[in-house]
Amino acid sequence: MAVTIAVAGKGGTGKTAISALLIHFLAQNSPPVLAVDGDPATNLHQALGLPLDEQVNTIGGIREYMEEKIYKEGFDPGIPKQEWLDARIREGLVEDIGFDLLSMGRSEGKGCYCAVNHMLRSTLARLSKMYRFVVIDNEAGMEHISRQTTNDVDTLLIIANPTVPGVMAAVRTQKLIWELRNNVRRIYLVLNRASEISPRIADLISEGNLDLLEVIGEDPYIEDLEAEGKPVTELPEDSPLRKGALEILVKLNFIPSKVLA
């Protein structure tokens, strides 16, 4: 059974960059990994340095194609819809060394996708069994939690900046998960772009019952790297973001500590 790691956080926290680095290091040390881009903005492939065709390589594109095929063209009765969908999704995976990328793409839009979405959940459940790890880069905000799509997760990482609004958003995220009783085994806070933690922030973390896993300092390389359109996997070895992602995986016992040596 795959271990599922979900990464959540507000936009601008470095959520996708951290997700990409987690995927990169897991693929190197504990493959195979299924990387899931749950954000309709579909930025994870860029952070990983991979191409993406939104019509072919995203669930949104496959779902819309299937809806059109069912209701406009008709569907071959000799091919079970679930079997067809399974095949299309496997064909839509973007493959790389040690991992495959599945992008969710656009949200439902107009019309009812209930039947197709049910089949999608079944397909993804079967697909995940083929991997050791599943890493999900969730959409920014808390919509994925209120819709209870962040479910059956071993570890949820909430990424936040070291500000009062950032930490309070993390507190609300954890509280909502508890209220909805989502099946999330462990929840951790990761502070990014944090040169230091002020007493006020430390108090908020304690009062909010947040479990602080890692503090990542400001990375001097990331801005230039992103400006040049390069993937975060090209960050140098002394990058705080790169080091922080490795520390997270070691602390969670997902990769051996010797990789830090």
Kindly list the domain boundaries of the chain, sorted by start residue: 21-28+150-261, 31-131
Count of C-beta atoms within a 10 Å radius of residue 97? 9
pLDDT in tens, 203-249: 999 999 999 999 999 999 999 998 999 999 999 999 999 999 999 99
**pLDDT at residue 142, rounded to an integer:** 57
* Statement: residue 73 has pLDDT above 90: no
21-28+150-261 and 31-131: same fold?
yes
Q: What CATH number does the domain located at 21-28+150-261 have?
A: 3.40.50.300
For the segment 126-157, what is each residue's pLDDT rounded down to a tens digit? 888 999 999 999 887 555 554 444 557 899 99
Q: What is the pTM of this model?
A: 0.90
DSSP 123-172: HHHHHHTT-SEEEEEEPSSSHHHHTT-S-SEEEEEEEE-SSHHHHHHHHH
- CATH class name, domain 31-131: alpha beta
Mean pLDDT highest for which of 6-15, 95-104, 200-209? 200-209
Token readout for 14 is: 């470095």
> Quick one: tokens of 29?
């040390």
Containing 44, the helix (H) or strand (E) segment is helix 44-48
CB 68 within 8 A of CB 41: no
Mutual angle of helices 199-207 and 164-180, in 10-degree steps: 10
pLDDT at residue 201 greater than cutoff 70 = yes
